[in-house]
Chains A and B, each alone.
Chain A
Amino acid sequence: MATNKPQVEVRRRFAAPPEKVFAAFADARLITRWLSPSPKIALTPLRFEFREGGTYRFAYGLEDGKTVIVNGTYILIDPPSKIVFSWIIEPPDEHAGIESEVTVAIKPDDGGTELLIQHKKLILTDAIVRHAAGWHGALDQLAAALETEKQHDR
């Protein structure tokens, strides 16, 4: 049946302490300096209410002059360890209107920090992306991966 497991997952270790990593998500001035896929894509926060129930609206200026707007609500904020927010791209984007949810987990790790970002609310795993074009065997792996994750998910 429908599973709610993470679809997109990025994990990274930083030398900086958890408080600094958390601050990078919490401060409007700081997010503009990193929360985009590349330095060439500028983030302009149109709204940024970093509190539970608060909303945000980010404009991303792409290289070709187009703008992509993303909005969402901060669902959970637990400093300095966890942030959960919804993530919806606005029209006319091709992926507009798909409701998804981002979970940010910030853990102390040997003097530094381990950051885990999971973008959830979808059902596929990336196994399907890698094999979308040339498919054979991909679904076996996918099914096996889902089974394994199911056991881990408890």
Chain B
Amino acid sequence: MIAAQTKLIYSQLAMQRAANLNRTFRALADGTRRSMIHALAQGEAQSASDLGRRFRSAQPTISKHLKVLEQAGLVKRTITGRVHRFRLHQKPLQEAGGWIARHQAFWTGAVGQLDQLLAKGVDDGDK
């Protein structure tokens, strides 16, 4: 059935999106990685050694953080010779923001409706 196939594809897409979002949230759970994103947000692509100097961290530590950010799709890597440069990629952050904005709107709206219901008196018009 086409409907069943469509549903399967939809749920696979949804699972993929959920996995992406979880990866983004996990990547952003770390303070150093957030600071690195901030440094990258200042503009130009920066090399791994630039970032190492800036954060006074050992290169393997910086590389590990960059890898987590890269896997979450938060940074893009370009390689020129032996230099690895990193650039911020904003789409995953916007997706993560979408989940939060949606639920903030949900609860704000719901609590507003609850307020009206309580103001009317929950016993009224129940029948």
Q: Which residues of A contact B113 (CB under 8 A)?
A: 33-36, 38-39
B32 CB to closest chain A CB, in angstroms?
10
B14, B25, B97, B114 pick with most chain A CB within 10 angstroms? B114
A62 at the interface (CB under 8 A from B): no
Give Cα distance in the complex from A29 to B21, angstroms: 34
A88 CB to closest chain B CB, in angstroms?
9
Chain B's closest residue to A60 (CB) is B106
Residue count of chain B within 8 Å CB distance of chain A = 50
Q: Which residues of A contact B2 (CB under 8 A)?
A: none
B34 touching A139, Cβ below 8 Å = yes
Give Cα distance in the complex from A7 to B99, angstroms: 10
B96 touching A10, Cβ below 8 Å = no
Given contacts A140-B38, A143-B34, contact A129 B126 (CB under 8 A): no
B122 touching A92, Cβ below 8 Å = no
Q: Which residues of A contact B90 (CB under 8 A)?
A: 132, 135
Q: Interface majority SS on A: helix, strand, loop or mixed? A: loop
Give Cα distance in the complex from A10 to B18, angstroms: 24
Q: Which residues of A contact B68 (CB under 8 A)?
A: none
- Against B, the Cβ 8 Å flags (1 = close, 0 = not) of A4-24 are 000110101011100011011
Chain A's closest residue to B43 (CB) is A136
Chain B's closest residue to A95 (CB) is B99
Given contacts A30-B117, A123-B26, A128-B93, contact A37 B38 (CB under 8 A): no
Give Cα distance in the complex from A146 to B97, angstroms: 16
Given contacts A10-B111, A24-B118, contact A95 B41 (CB under 8 A): no
Partner of A143, one of B17, B31, B109, B126: B31
Give Cα distance in the complex from A39 to B116, angstroms: 11
A14 touching B118, Cβ below 8 Å = yes
A129 touching B100, Cβ below 8 Å = yes
B13 touching A92, Cβ below 8 Å = yes
The 6 sampled A-B contact pairs (Cβ below 8 Å) are A10-B104, A10-B107, A30-B122, A30-B126, A92-B7, A94-B14
Ranked 9 nearest A-B pairs via Cβ: A92-B10, A37-B109, A96-B14, A91-B11, A97-B18, A139-B38, A34-B113, A129-B97, A91-B14
Measured CB to CB, the residues of B under 8 A from A are 7, 10-11, 13-15, 17-18, 21-22, 25-26, 28-31, 34-35, 37-38, 41-42, 90, 93-94, 96-111, 113-119, 122, 126
